Amino acid sequence: MAEAYIVSAVRTPVGRRKGGLSQVHPADLAGHVIKAAVERAGVDPGEVDDVILGCVDQLGAQSTNIARTAWLAAGLPEHVPGTTVDRQCGSSQQAVHFAAQAVMAGVQDLVVAGGVEVMSLVPISSPAIVGAQQGMGAPYGSPGWTARYGDQEVSQFRGAELIAEKWGISRRDMEEYALSSHQRAIAAQESGAFDEEIVPYGAVTADEGPRPDTSLEKMAGLKTLSEGGRLTAAVSSQVSDGAAALLIASEAAVRRRGLTPLARVHTMTVTGADPILMLSAPIPATRQALKRAGLGIDDIDHYEINEAFASVVLAWLKELGVDPGRTNPLGGAIALGHPLGATGAKLMATLVHGLRRTGGRYGLQTMCEGGGMANATVVEAL
């Protein structure tokens, strides 16, 4: 079977809400990492076949196919096309899948895959909110939907609460996990673990999210997001700004151009689950990916599961029996942030460079997505 190789993987630092990247146009931010990914691989940008970017809230500056505008904003050749995908929080992981699939099908040789989200500029759920305000209807208001699921609340916040209840995860459990995320992220920053993957943007050279002064005592003093609930802002991913990009190459392109692969895309899967519980799909997606890969839980050296909420990761750990030490070893979105459409590619960059730095062989990435879905990807470091 044809192979797909990751020949470069970069990301911006992740900016905090209203932080150092909040005034950057999303097209410029995405263009920055796209250009860096192509340059690092040593590829002529005119030879790129396509650009696929993930972006969740495609409104305003993030609308009208930001993959295309980002490529052009970076000053790159006009003949290279682009398309933007939305698989909610897994959008840029799906972009990687689409790029790898095109390469493995033999129809393209070099594809940029990545994502961008400037949440400071385009807040979460903006298209739905603005659409409702303009009388355009609601995503979950169709007769078919209500006949099947009723008029109950459909949100990631409710889903995360339901997961905490179903798997018996306490607020204290989530706070201890969140503290660990910050501690791991700070240790990673101090050791230079992110240096290879980060492309600074202006004066922003490092992730802005990790909080050295956080503590269980401070977390315990926060109000819950809903009355009687267990979730607080401390156990949730941070509103963030950022972009990430990878260059995916065919075996022929690697050979002809003398490229140096970082990893090969071993296995890809995507699956759906209960859209009300919403965030539990990484569990079946991981099982499916491992089965297709012919690997066991302990064969994976490094797991990246997006920390949308601490309850999501803790339920996944409980259900699958994954070693917590191999899971998000450099911290996750609770500390480092979750720039929606960019996070899939961001985590992939962290996973690939992490495997190579530590000498690991296999890595698995998965993330929960709106609508009750999850992508899972197994990569093999080279």
Question: Which positions are catalytic?
Answer: 89, 338, 368
Question: 49: closest CA among 246, 245, 248?
Answer: 248
CA nearest 245: which of 99, 361, 101, 380?
A: 99
CA separation for the pair 337, 13 (Å, rounded): 10
Nearest to 307 by CA among 287, 329, 323: 329
Pairing of strands 362-369, 373-381: antiparallel
Count of helices and strands (H, E) across the chain: 13, 10
Tokens representing 233? 């802002």
Cβ(338)–Cβ(240) below 8 Å: yes
> What are the two backbone dihedrals, phi and then psi, of residue 350, each rounded to the nearest 5 degrees?
-65, -40
CB 48 within 8 Å of CB 38: yes
Rama region for 381: left / alpha / beta (φ>0; ψ in -120 to 50; rest): beta
Residues in the chain: 382
Q: And the tokens for 358?
A: 């530590």
Distance, in Å, from the CA atom of 127 to the CA atom of 73, rounded to the nearest integer, reads 24
